[in-house]
Structure 1
Amino acid sequence: MATTTDPAPEAVTGLGDASVPRTREPSRFPYRTISMGTIGSVLLLLGALGAGGILIRDPVIGTGPLSWVRYGHGQILANVILYTGFALVVWAWVRLGRYMLAGRVGTRPILIAAACWMGPLLVAPPLFTRDVFSYLGQGAQLLHGLNPYAHGPAELEILPNIVQNVHPVWQTTPAPYGPLFLLVAKGVVALTGDNVIAGVIVMRLVLLLGLGAMVWALPKLVRRLGGKLPITMWLAVASPMTVIHLIGGPHNDVLMLGFLTLGVLAVLERKHAVGIALVTIGMLIKPTAAVALPFLVWVWANHLPGENRVRNFLRAGALSVGIFAVVFVLGTWVSLGSFNLGWVTGLQAPTLVTNWLNFPTGIGQAVHTLVNLVITVPESPFVTVARLLAWGALAVFLARQWWKSRFGGNEAVFRMAMALLATAILAPPTLPWYLTWGFVVASAFPWRRRHLAVVVGVAVFLVMAYYPTGEQALYDWWFVVISIAIGVYAAASLLRPDPLGLIGAWRRQRPPAPVEEGGQIPAA
C-alpha cells in the first residue's frame, strides 16, 4: 500500500542526466521533508532573536527577562539554535532535491516547501546581514527631503531608531541603489515611521513581489530555454540562497530579479519594448540589471525580418536605447523629483567592502601576505592593482560573451547569465547573494546532476560566509574550513544519501534484538 509520506532517502539513486531520472517512482507528497525545513526555519527565527541582526534598542526583548539570549552563554545558545535551524533547512532542501531527481516530487511540493520555509522568516530579525537597516535609512532620507546620494543616513536626526541600527560602515556612505528602490524604501518608511521592526517586515513583504514575479516568469522561461521546472524552482526559489539570504536577509536583489526575469521572458516572446522597459526598471532598483540589456538587443535583432543583420542590429539597438532613455529619465524623475544622477557615483560605495570572496581582492591580499613576509607594506596597492586587472578581464569577458550572443535566441540568454555571474565574481565587491543574479536565469536551462551538486555546495558555503549578525566570517579560517566541509558533504548528499556511511555504520553497530528463550524473536 502506497504511503503518503516521504520515500526512504536510501531509495533515491541515479547519477545520470538530471533531466532524465533513471527510474520514476510514484509521486508522494514530502510531508516530513517540508516539516523538517519548517522546523528549521522556526529555529532560525528563534535563534535570530539573540544572534541575528538585532536592534541596538529592541522594544520587544530589550532589557526584559529574555535579554539574556543576547549576552554570554545566552548568545552562544542562540547561535546553536540558529545554526541547528540552518542545518535542518539545508538537509530538507537536499532531501527534496534527491526526491526531485528521482522523479518522486514535482513543482507544487517544491513551491509549498519554499513557502513554508520562508513563512517564519518574514517576521524574523535580519539574518546574515544588516543591509535592510540601510534600506530604511536611505528611504527615510528621501522621505524627509535629504539626498541619499550625497550623504549617508547619519545626517538624518528625525528618526533615531532607524539611523542607529545602520551598520557603521554605511552611516556616512551614499546610497548605491537605484532611485526606484529608494522610492520603494521611502514608501515603507512613510508607512512604518521609526518602528524598525515593522519596517523590516513590510520591506520583506514588498520584496516578495519580486519573488512572485520570478515564480510567474520562470515556468515560461523553462519552456523556452529547455530546462525542467522542478529543478528550476528547487534552484531558484527553494534554495537557502533565496530562502535565507534574499528573504531572510532581506535583500533588494530579489526585486531586481523579478523585473529581470519578466523582461527576459518578454523579449523572448517578441514583446521587445516591454522587455527592455522591464529590465531598465530592474536597473533602477539595482544597477546590475544593466548587464543584461546589450544581450537582449541581439535577441530583438534576430527576431526582426530580413537578412541584413547589420541593419537589424542597428534598428534593435536604436529602439532599445530610446526605450531605455525614456524609462531611465522618467523613473529617475518620478523617484527623486529631479533628474539626479548622483546614484551613479554612489556605486563606488560598495567597493569599501574587501574580502577574498571577490576573486581579485583575494589575489591582491594573497600577494600582499607573501610580500609582507619580506618587507612591511600596506595592503591597499595590491588590492587596487588586482581589482584594476580584474576590471580589464571582466570587460574582455563581457565583450566576448556579448559577441558570441549575436545569433540571439537561447544562446544569448545563457551568455547573459554567465555575464551576470562573472560580474558578481570579478567586480568588487562580491557578496554571497550577488551570485543569485546569474543563477536565477541559468536555473531555467538544462542541468546535470554533478553541476547541481556543485551549486548545493556553493550555496551552503555562501550562506555561512557571513555570521548571522551580518559580519563577514571569511577570515575566521577554522570556521571557513568547517563551512567548506559542510558544503562538500551537502553536495555529496544530493547524489547519494549518507555519503560517508555514518548512518549505515551506526545501524551496523546497534546491538542485536534480544532473543527469548527458545530462540524466538519477540514480536514487534
Structure 2
Amino acid sequence: MATTTDPAPDVPALDAGAPGEARPAARVPSPFPYRTISMGTIGSVLLLLGALGAGGILIRDPVIGTGPLSWVRYGHGKMLANAVLYAGFGLVVWAWVRLGRYMLAGRIGSRPIVIAAACWMTPLLAAPPLFTRDVYSYLGQGAQLLHGLDPYAHGPAELDVLPNVVQNVHPVWQTTPAPYGPLFLLVAKGIVALTGDDVIAGVIVMRLVLLVGLGAMVWALPRLVRHLGGKLPITLWLAVASPMTVIHLVGGPHNDLLMLGFLTVGVLAALERKHALAIALVTLGMLIKPTAAVALPFLVWVWANHLPGEQRMRNFVKAGAASVGIFAVVFVVGTWVSLGSFNLGWIGGLQAPTLVTNWVNFPTGVGQLVHTLVHLVINVPESPFVTVARAIAILAFAVLVARQWWKSRFGGNEAVFRMAITLLGAAILVPPTLPWYLTWGFVIAAAFSWRRRHLAIVVGVAVFLVMAYYPTGEQALYDWWFVAITLGLAVYAAAALLRPDPLGLIGAWRRQKAAAVAEGGEVTTPTSSATP
C-alpha cells in the first residue's frame, strides 16, 4: 500500500554525474509530499502568530491593543514573538528547499508545488504586514485620492480624515508624494472606500486584490515555459513557492505582485503574436508600478520580428509606431480614468523612494564604502559619496539598457531574456534596491532553463533578502552580527538544496547511533537537526 508521507528527506537530489542544467529527473512514482507541505504550512501559521507581536503592527490595534494579549508587543513578550516568527520563517524555507530537492530528483511535478505555495500563503492573508509597512502607505494614498487630496502633490499627513489609516503610514512616507502609478491608486481608493478607517480589513482586502496578479502569473507561467524552454516545476518553485513571493509579495504585501501579473501575461501575449494586447497589458502594468515600462522597448523588437518580410528597419518602424500609439491611448485613458484628469505628477513622485539608503543598492553601498575609507583620514559627510556613486550607476544602467535592447533586435526568446536582465539591472543599479524589487526580472527569468548551481544561489539570495529587513519593516542591514548570521543561514540553505545535511551533522549522529546500538548503549538525541 502506498504511504502518505514524503520521500525520504535525506536522499540526495543530485547525482555526482548529473548534468549542470537543472532538469527534474525522469518522474518516478512517489508519495505526495504531505509532510513537507505541512511543515511549511506550520511555519506560515507561526509567521502569522509571531507577526501579531513582532510584525508591522498597528499603532492603535483594536484587536490586541491594551488587552490581555498586549504583552506580546513589549519586552520579553516581543522577544518571544520574534522567536516564533523566525522559527516560522525557518520552517517555510526548510520546506521550500526540501520541495526543491524532490523536484530536482523527479519525485514531484508542478501540482504539489502550486498546492504547497497556496497552503503557505493562506495563513498570511490575515497576518499583520511582514518585513514592511508599505501597505499602510498604499491605504493612505488611496484615502487621499478618495477624499480629493492629490497623492502626487501631498503626503498622507495632510489628510484630516481616516486617522487610523493616516497614523499607520511610516514616518518617512507621511509627507512624500506617491511613487505609484495612477491605476494602482485607483485600486487603493476602491479598497479604502470599502473598508474605511478599518486598517486591518484594508490590509486583508489589499492582499486579496493583489492575488489577482498572482493568479495571472500562475496562469501565464506554464505557457511562458513552453515558449522559453524552461521546466515548469522549476519555474513554479522559483517564481510562486519562493519565500520572496510567499513572504514578501503576499505576506508584505507589495503591489509589485499586481504589476507582475500584467507583465507576465503581456510577455506571453507578445510571444503568441498578440502584440497590441501585449503593449496594452504592459502599459497597464506600468500604471500600477512604473518599472514595467522597462519591458516595452523589448516587446517592440518581438513585434518587429514577427512581421512578414525581411526589411528589418521598416518592420521596426511599423512595430514601434503601433506600439507608441497603443501605449499613448492606454496611458492617457488609464491616467484619466484613475485620477479624473491627465495628472503626470506621479513621475516626480518616483524620486520619493530614493530617500531609502542602504548597501543592498550596489551604488549606494560603493559610495558608503568609499566614504568609510576616506573617513578614516578626514571627517567628511557621506551624502556626496553616495550621490556621485548613484549618478555613475544611473549612467551605467543607461548603457546596460541600450546594450541589452540592441542585442534584442532579433526578437523572440532572446529579447525576453534581455528584458529580464534589464529589469534585474533596474532593481540593482537604480536606487533604492528593496528586496522584493528583484522579483521584477526574476519572475520572467524563471521561465528559462536553469543550472542547478544557479538554483542554489537563488536559494541563498532569497533567504538573505527576506531577512535583510526586520519583521517590523525596518532595515537590518547595519546590524552586522545579524547580517553575519543571516549570510551564514543563507549559505547553508543554498548548500542544502544541492546536498542534504551539508555539514554532515545528521550523518555523524546516525553513525553514533549505529555504534551505540552495536555496543548496547543509549543514544542521545541531537539538540538540533540539520536535515533540510
Q: TM-score, normalised by structure 1?
A: 0.97
Does 1:132 pair with 2:138? Answer: no
Map 1:461-480 → 2, pairs under 5 A = 461-480=464-483
Identity among equivalent pairs (%): 83
Residues of 2 paired with 1:474 and 1:509: CA distance?
40
How many Å apart are 1:9 and its aligned residue?
Answer: 1.6
Map 1:87-486 → 2, pairs under 5 A = 87-486=90-489
In structure 2, what is the equivalent of residue 12 of structure 1? 12
Structure 1 residue ranges, 4+ long, deviating more than 6 angstroms after superposition: none
Give the letter for the 2:507 counterpart.
G
In structure 2, what is the equivalent of residue 512 of structure 1? 517
Match of 1:491 among 494, 507, 513: 494
How many Å apart are 1:12 and its aligned residue?
Answer: 3.1
How many Å apart are 1:18 and its aligned residue?
Answer: 4.5
In the alignment, is the contact (CA less than 8 A) between 1:18 and 1:101 conserved in 2? no
Give the letter for the 1:4 counterpart.
T
Does 1:38 pair with 2:41? Answer: yes
Gaps of 5+ in 1: 517-524
Which whole-Å deviations, capped at 9, do the CAs of 1:441-465 have from their partners, x for residues lacking one? Answer: 0000001110100000000000000
In structure 1, what is the equivalent of residue 527 of structure 2? none
Q: TM-score, normalised by structure 2?
A: 0.96
In the alignment, is the contact (CA less than 8 A) between 1:152 and 1:172 conserved in 2? yes
The 3 A distance-change label for structure 1 pair 39 and 18 is: farther
Residues of 1 paired with 2:210 and 2:426: CA distance?
23
How many Å apart are 1:23 and its aligned residue?
Answer: 5.6
Residues of 1 paired with 2:197 and 2:205: CA distance?
13
How many Å apart are 1:27 and its aligned residue?
Answer: 3.0
Give the letter for the 2:316 counterpart.
F
In structure 1, what is the equivalent of residue 29 of structure 2? 26
Aligned length: 516
Deviates more, 1:95-104 or 1:507-516: 507-516
In the alignment, is the contact (CA less than 8 A) between 1:19 and 1:227 conserved in 2? no
Residues of 2 paired with 1:321 and 1:478: CA distance?
50
SS state at 2:200 partner: helix
How many Å apart are 1:4 and its aligned residue?
Answer: 2.9
Residues of 2 paired with 1:433 and 1:36: CA distance?
24
How many Å apart are 1:11 and its aligned residue?
Answer: 1.6
How many Å apart are 1:512 and its aligned residue?
Answer: 1.9
How many Å apart are 1:90 and its aligned residue?
Answer: 0.1
- Calculate the aligned-residue CA RMSD, in Å: 1.1
SS state at 1:224 partner: helix
Give the letter for the 2:13 counterpart.
T
Residues of 2 paired with 1:94 and 1:25: CA distance?
20
Give the letter for the 1:208 counterpart.
L
Deviates more, 1:457-466 or 1:503-512: 503-512
How many Å apart are 1:503 and its aligned residue?
Answer: 1.1
In the alignment, is the contact (CA less than 8 A) between 1:13 and 1:102 conserved in 2? yes
How many Å apart are 1:24 and its aligned residue?
Answer: 4.1
In the alignment, is the contact (CA less than 8 A) between 2:117 and 2:240 conserved in 1? yes
SS state at 1:512 partner: helix
Residues of 2 paired with 1:20 and 1:128: CA distance?
33
How many Å apart are 1:514 and its aligned residue?
Answer: 7.6
How many Å apart are 1:58 and its aligned residue?
Answer: 0.3
Residues of 2 paired with 1:363 and 1:170: CA distance?
26
In the alignment, is the contact (CA less than 8 A) between 2:129 and 2:135 conserved in 1? yes
Give the letter for the 2:366 counterpart.
I
SS state at 2:517 partner: coil
Residues of 2 paired with 1:369 and 1:19: CA distance?
41
SS state at 1:10 partner: coil
Deviates more, 1:501-510 or 1:484-493: 501-510
Give the letter for the 1:512 counterpart.
V
Which whole-Å deviations, capped at 9, do the CAs of 1:34-82 have from their partners, x for residues lacking one? Answer: 0000000000000000000000000000000000000000000000000
Gaps of 5+ in 2: 522-532
Residues of 2 paired with 1:298 and 1:85: CA distance?
45
In the alignment, is the contact (CA less than 8 A) between 1:368 and 1:379 conserved in 2? yes
How many Å apart are 1:13 and its aligned residue?
Answer: 2.9
Residues of 2 paired with 1:279 and 1:351: CA distance?
24
How many Å apart are 1:508 and its aligned residue?
Answer: 2.4
In structure 2, what is the equivalent of residue 521 of structure 1? none
SS state at 1:38 partner: helix
Residues of 2 paired with 1:21 and 1:90: CA distance?
20
